[in-house]
């Protein structure tokens, strides 16, 4: 590894190599402890060494590839991108990225394994949401976008990808509506969210007309690389999600790519006892051990009905949301 004469500072190397070194160390410790391995191919890097649960983790969706460190859910999203956009799943995203060059791609995050490979595409856009920054502006080198009021022209993208983002958006129906607006007629929206197979969607929090946060259920946070306290969950998605999307004019398929838990075991925090159990893990810093979700990847395309109505049809969403 040549650290000299490559034009990069010492701190650049520390910042970029340290996470990988930490992952390798945790991997070694996990192997030493005999942590569970999902013996599957990684569709991010192509390795077949399997996925491993690090230290105390129990959430299989977050198991990491022993070669590249991608999560199982990243691999499932990569598989879905290859199958949907190229019609095959030989190889992996790393090797097949050049074949996606004809697509205009929007990834709603600026880090992670998918970003690492998709960012080399000639027509690639990524963004983060920064509070206080005007959407469309660049902050810390990354474009700021609010998914509920995107600054892109209508029908801009062939492929839009979100991974576990929409549950943190204060008005998810507006976000889906905006995604539909900026997606080309034959485009595809591929996304993951924590998903419960037996409950209907519930709102945990909302923002009122004065901009005040209203917590409808006790607060739940998911891990967030940019926020030490985590990212607040506004919506718990349930088994009526596809019905909502259909009403919005988005024909959506549910690809189940990892089924480890019976429906009754899947996380659904709706009582004080369940929240207390979750909160114990939150305070201990063992958040991924508090959750049990199967791996669902959703593939959403504009339906015939959706082509005719490019407006936000809020009435078809909210009345059925349990609050």
- Residue number with CB closer to Zn ion (65 or 81): 65
178 with 155: CB under 8 angstroms? no
In angstroms, the CA 131 to CA 268 distance is 28
Q: What's the residue count for the chain? A: 323
- Our finding on whether 45 is near Zn ion (CB under 5 A) is yes
In angstroms, the CA 72 to CA 77 distance is 9
Q: What's the closest the beta carbon of residue 42 comes to Zn ion, in angstroms?
A: 3
Determine the interface stretch with Zn ion among 69-77, 135-143, 251-259, 312-320 (rule: CB under 5 A): 69-77
- Residue number with CB closer to Zn ion (51 or 291): 51
Q: What's the closest the beta carbon of residue 295 comes to Zn ion, in angstroms?
A: 15
Cα 103 to its chain centre, rounded Å, is: 20
Contacts of 71 (CB under 8 A, 6+ apart): 51, 61, 62, 63, 64, 65, 113
Q: What's the closest the beta carbon of residue 32 comes to Zn ion, in angstroms?
A: 21
- Our finding on whether 68 is near Zn ion (CB under 5 A) is yes
Q: What's the closest the beta carbon of residue 208 comes to Zn ion, in angstroms?
A: 43
Give CA angle at 173 (224, 221), nearest 5°: 25
Determine the interface stretch with Zn ion among 19-27, 61-69, 135-143, 177-185 (rule: CB under 5 A): 61-69
- Our finding on whether 42 is near Zn ion (CB under 5 A) is yes
Residue from 26, 41, 58, 67 that binds Zn ion (CB under 5 A)?
67
Q: What's the closest the beta carbon of residue 163 comes to Zn ion, in angstroms?
A: 15
> Cβ–Cβ contacts within 10 Å for residue 253, how many?
12
- For residue 254, the cross-strand partners are 298
- Our finding on whether 65 is near Zn ion (CB under 5 A) is yes
DSSP state of 88: -
User: Residues touching Zn ion: how many (CB under 5 A)?
Assistant: 8
Assigned token pair, 237 = 């998605």
Residue from 27, 63, 70, 105 that binds Zn ion (CB under 5 A)?
70
Burial call 115-138: b when 16+ CB within 10 Å, e when fewer: bbbbeebeebbbbbbbeebebeee
Determine the interface stretch with Zn ion among 15-23, 42-50, 116-124, 310-318 (rule: CB under 5 A): 42-50
- Residue number with CB closer to Zn ion (113 or 306): 113
Residue window 87-106: x/- pattern of binding to Zn ion, with contact defined by CB under 5 A: --------------------
In angstroms, the CA 56 to CA 268 distance is 21
Q: What's the closest the beta carbon of residue 66 comes to Zn ion, in angstroms?
A: 8
CA-wise closest residue to 76 among 238, 192, 242, 224: 192
Q: What's the closest the beta carbon of residue 74 comes to Zn ion, in angstroms?
A: 8
Determine the interface stretch with Zn ion among 35-43, 83-91, 209-217, 306-314 (rule: CB under 5 A): 35-43
Q: What's the closest the beta carbon of residue 71 comes to Zn ion, in angstroms?
A: 9
- Our finding on whether 44 is near Zn ion (CB under 5 A) is yes
What's the 3-state SS for 255-299?
Answer: EEEECCCCHHHCCCCCCHHHHHHHHHHHHHCCHHHCCCCCEEEEE
Q: What's the closest the beta carbon of residue 73 comes to Zn ion, in angstroms?
A: 12
Determine the interface stretch with Zn ion among 60-68, 185-193, 232-240, 256-264 (rule: CB under 5 A): 60-68
297 with 253: CB under 8 angstroms? no
Binding residues for Zn ion, rule: CB under 5 A, are 42, 44-45, 47, 65, 67-68, 70
């Amino acid at each position: 590894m040549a650290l000299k004469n490559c034009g990069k500072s010492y701190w650049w190397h520390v910042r970029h190599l340290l996470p990988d070194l930490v992952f390798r160390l945790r991997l070694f410790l996990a192997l030493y402890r005999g942590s569970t391995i999902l013996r599957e191919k990684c569709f991010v890097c192509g390795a077949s060494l399997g996925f491993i649960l690090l230290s105390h983790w129990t959430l299989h969706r977050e198991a990491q590839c022993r070669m590249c460190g991608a999560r199982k859910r990243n691999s499932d999203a990569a598989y879905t991108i290859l199958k949907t956009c190229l019609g095959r799943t030989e190889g992996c995203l790393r090797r097949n990225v050049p074949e996606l060059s004809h697509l205009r791609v929007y990834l709603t995050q600026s880090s992670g394994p998918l970003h690492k490979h998709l960012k080399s595409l000639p027509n690639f856009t990524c963004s983060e949401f920064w509070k206080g920054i005007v959407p469309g502006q660049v902050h810390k080198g990354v474009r700021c976008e609010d998914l509920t009021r995107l600054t892109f022209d209508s029908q801009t993208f062939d492929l839009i990808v979100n991974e576990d983002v929409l549950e943190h958006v204060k008005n998810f129906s507006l976000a889906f509506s905006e995604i539909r607006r900026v997606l080309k007629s034959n485009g595809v929206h591929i996304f993951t969210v924590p998903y419960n197979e037996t409950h209907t969607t519930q709102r945990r929090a909302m923002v009122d007309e004065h901009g005040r946060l209203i917590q409808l259920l006790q607060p739940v946070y998911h891990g967030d690389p940019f926020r030490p306290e985590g990212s607040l969950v506004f919506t718990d998605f349930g088994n009526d999600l596809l019905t909502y999307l259909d009403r919005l004019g988005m024909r959506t398929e549910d690809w189940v790519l990892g089924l480890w838990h019976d429906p009754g075991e899947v996380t659904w925090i709706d009582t004080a006892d369940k929240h207390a159990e979750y909160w114990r893990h939150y305070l201990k810093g063992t958040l991924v051990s508090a959750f049990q979700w199967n791996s669902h990847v959703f593939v959403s395309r504009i339906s015939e009905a959706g082509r005719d109505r490019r407006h936000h049809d809020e009435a078809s969403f909210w009345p059925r949301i349990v609050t």
